[in-house]
Amino acid sequence: MKLRRLAGAGLIAGAATLGYALAEAHWYTLRRVLAPVLPAGARPIKVLHLSDMHLTARQRRKVEWVKALAALEPELVVVTGDNYAFADAMELALEALEPHLARPGAFVFGSNDYYSAILKNPAAYLFGPTDSEPERQRDLPTEAFRQVLTRAGWSDLNNARGQLELGPERLATDLVGLADPHLDWDRMPDPVSHSQAALVLGLVHAPYLRAVDRLVADQARLVLAGHTHGGQVGLPLYGALVSNSDLPARLAAGLHRWRSTDSFLHVSAGLGTSPYAPVRLACRPEASLITLVPADA
């Protein structure tokens, strides 16, 4: 009898936690971060970091929320991949980004910009990196999506470099990015001299150690990544248990100094989840407004 009561209580607690986690997946939040990466004396620069929207055709509220972020008037918008879950949501993803396309921007893609979402065992996520889609046909309209962004002047940084002049002081900035390491598609672009650049920014979807190391070795002062979903299901007051990569789970979201360098890694916990595991626990869906400030500020 006692056992049955205990089992009943466990079931109720489980159902309540699931209900909460289903709700939390819709509590979009803006996280504000200061990143001390600019040269001394430079004026602050606002960077909006969007990641892992995983949009489906029914997620209009998320679209409106992302569109409204244009009011922050960032000087740069970066998107670190996994924009939409199925082909029928591509237009919606473009609608979400549309008000941002008037600003300078840069992007890399994640596996879910090439392959639509498929049903996997959600528990597998807790026991190491998930499969990286090796044998499937690419079934998303990747090139059509890419074209809209590049025609707006955004830098496509999938194994590529870019340059822009950032903020009111037109700070010479070099950009470098990698295609998704979760798919093993990351190849460093040819080396260049950054002697004219006041700042180097790196982008990659999945923050595998080798990828962040290579971007930092290429002099990126700040590397921006997504993919982890901040662990997606964390423990309250403890945080992420996994990063879905070889990155330590404690780095699965937020800004952290990279090893013993002067560089930083910023991981966005992202705005979505796989449509087949639409839960988040102790890990709100987020966009980040990163204010770049001088390192000595």
Nearer Cβ to Fe ion (110/162): 110
Q: What is the DSSP letter of 272?
A: -
Nearest partner of 194 among 294, 146, 254, 263, judged by Cα: 263
Q: Residues of 86-101 as b/e, b for ≥16 C-beta within 10 angstroms?
A: beebbbbbbbbbeebb
Least spacing, CB of residue 53 vs Fe ion, in Å: 9
H or E, element range at 165: strand 160-166
Determine if 82 is a binding residue for Fe ion (CB under 5 A).
yes
Q: Which is nearer to Fe ion, 165 or 184 (CB)?
A: 184
CB of 35: closest distance to Fe ion in angstroms? 22
Q: How far apart are CA 46 and CA 75, in angstroms?
A: 5
- Total interface residues for Fe ion by CB under 5 A: 2
Taking CB under 5 A as the rule, does residue 180 contact Fe ion? no
| Range in contact with Fe ion (rule: CB under 5 A) among 78-86, 143-151, 152-160, 166-174 | 78-86
> Can you tell me the distance from the alpha carbon of 49 to that of 60, in angstroms, rounded to the nearest whole number?
20
- Closer residue to Fe ion (CB): 59 or 219: 59
Q: Which residue is nearest to Fe ion (CB)?
A: 82
Which residue number, 52 or 180, has a Cβ lying nearer to Fe ion? 52
Nearer to Fe ion, 52 or 75 (CB): 52
DSSP string covering 71-124: GG--SEEEE-S--BSSGGGHHHHHHHHGGGTTS-EEE---GGGTS------GGG
Residue 54 CB, shortest distance to Fe ion, in Å, is 6
- Tell me: does residue 286 bind Fe ion (CB under 5 A): no
The backbone torsions φ and ψ at residue 16, rounded to the nearest 5 degrees and listed phi first, read -65, -40
Of the candidates 25, 48, 52, 76, which one interacts with Fe ion according to CB under 5 A?
52
- CB of residue 279 to Fe ion, shortest distance in Å: 14
Cβ of residue 274: shortest distance to Fe ion, in angstroms? 7
Closest CB to Fe ion among residues 81, 202: 81
What ranges in the chain are assigned the alpha helix state H?
A: 2-24, 60-68, 90-97, 142-151, 209-217
Q: Are 45 and 76 in contact (CB under 8 A)?
A: yes
Q: Which positions touch Fe ion (CB under 5 A)?
A: 52, 82
